[in-house]
Amino acid sequence: MKSPPHRYRSFSSHLREIFGCRVHRVAVDAGFTCPTRDGTLGRGGCLYCEEAGSRAAYVEPALPIREQVRHGIEHVRRRYKAEKFLVYFQPYTNTYAPAERLRALYDEALDHRDVVGLMIGTRPDYLGDAGTEKATRCRAAAQHTPAPLDLLEEYHRRTYLWVELGLQSVNDQTLRWIRRGHDFAAFEHAAVAARARGLRLCAHVIVGLPTDRREDHLAAADALNRLGFEGVKIHCLYVSRKAPLGEVYAREPFPLMTREEYVERVCDILERLNPRIVIHRLTSDADRRTLIAPLWCLDKGGILSAIDAELARRNSRQGSRYRP
């Protein structure tokens, strides 16, 4: 039996509207690092982030990008019956290199007849914006012009491009605790600069961080509306043995959300979001071999069904409480 449509604007149906067929992401690892790993802003990475920077299991980072794309397409085509693909530069900070190197990698990724676009994950403080202090960091990483924003704007004109920015929380206390190395103001600044170039932006938000309250999550939804984001990924906080958070949790356990709390909070956020924003994901990809807690986050299908059921119970949907 066909399940009823989601009460939110899902990424898969959005892609089908645009391309007229099933389109799926293919993740690659271009061998970057992060300023929170290499000593520029810190060591060990953001508190919740696993050693591999949350890399998909099928990715073979030792291969050149061209081969990773080919191999990834074979895997994803078989598994999801997809016809076209977006190459997803996923782990680490994918604008953290000289522009010439970025261009070579992005071009290599696009050089496949079934690739229809790119998704580039990065940090807001490594996006680059001429004339600002944040750009200084970026220029130091990029060394040459064009700065990442110029380059991304060029790819935005050439192909179907999503730029993914980690927000995680609007609460600066939380951002300090998770060792992000930037504050909410840096995120806002980067978003305004990127939107001024017309870039299509998607934000990552974590639900379940112990210093965040419901007001922070609603404020995050309001901020994404106000800043003109076109996509969002909501992740549930989980504790992995492979992330620094694993040690923190073992030393000093803190309360994690129950599945019911998570589902309710996600629905609160969805109701508050602009109905035009595309929902890229509402769960996390935890590895059961290294997951400490909460175990319910492994049941992604169950969580998505519970979100649908909760929205139906409320008789609401994405945007029901949106305030333009």
Asked if residue 46 binds ligand SF4 (CB under 6 A), the reply is yes
Shortest distance, CB of residue 96 to ligand SF4, whole angstroms?
9
User: Which of 36, 225 has the CB closer to ligand SF4?
Assistant: 36
Cβ atoms of 45 and 34 closer than 8 Å: yes
Pick the piece of the chain touching ligand SF4 (CB under 6 A) from 43-51, 80-88, 136-144, 210-218.
43-51
The per-residue DSSP string of 88-99 comes to EE-SS-TT-S-H
The DSSP H or E segment spanning 245 is: helix 244-251
Shortest distance, CB of residue 277 to ligand SF4, whole angstroms?
21
CA distance 129 to 313: 45
Bridge partner residues of 24 (DSSP):
85
Site for ligand SF4 in 69-128 (CB under 6 A): 91-93, 123
Asked if residue 49 binds ligand SF4 (CB under 6 A), the reply is yes
Pick the piece of the chain touching ligand SF4 (CB under 6 A) from 34-42, 59-67, 265-273, 309-317.
34-42
Shortest distance, CB of residue 51 to ligand SF4, whole angstroms?
10
User: Which of 54, 225 has the CB closer to ligand SF4?
Assistant: 54
CA distance 245 to 47: 5
Shortest distance, CB of residue 324 to ligand SF4, whole angstroms?
31
Asked if residue 163 binds ligand SF4 (CB under 6 A), the reply is no
Among 15, 34, 59, 147, binds ligand SF4 (CB under 6 A): 34
Asked if residue 303 binds ligand SF4 (CB under 6 A), the reply is no
User: Which of 9, 180 has the CB closer to ligand SF4?
Assistant: 180
CA distance 188 to 194: 10
CA distance 238 to 146: 38
The per-residue DSSP string of 9-58 comes to -BHHHHHHHHHSS-EEEEEE------TTTBSSS-BS-STT--TTSS--TT
Instruction: Return the structure tokens found at 233.
Output: 């990924």
User: Which of 61, 198 has the CB closer to ligand SF4?
Assistant: 61
CA distance 153 to 7: 32
Say which residues have a Cβ less than 8 Å from residue 320's Cβ, sequence separation at least 6. Answer: 271, 314
Shortest distance, CB of residue 93 to ligand SF4, whole angstroms?
5
Amino acid at 23: V
Asked if residue 36 binds ligand SF4 (CB under 6 A), the reply is yes
Site for ligand SF4 in 228-287 (CB under 6 A): none
Pick the piece of the chain touching ligand SF4 (CB under 6 A) from 9-17, 30-38, 145-153, 268-276.
30-38
- Which residue has tokens 């953001």? 46
Summarize as ranges the residues that interact with ligand SF4 (CB under 6 A).
34, 36-37, 45-46, 49, 53, 91-93, 123, 166
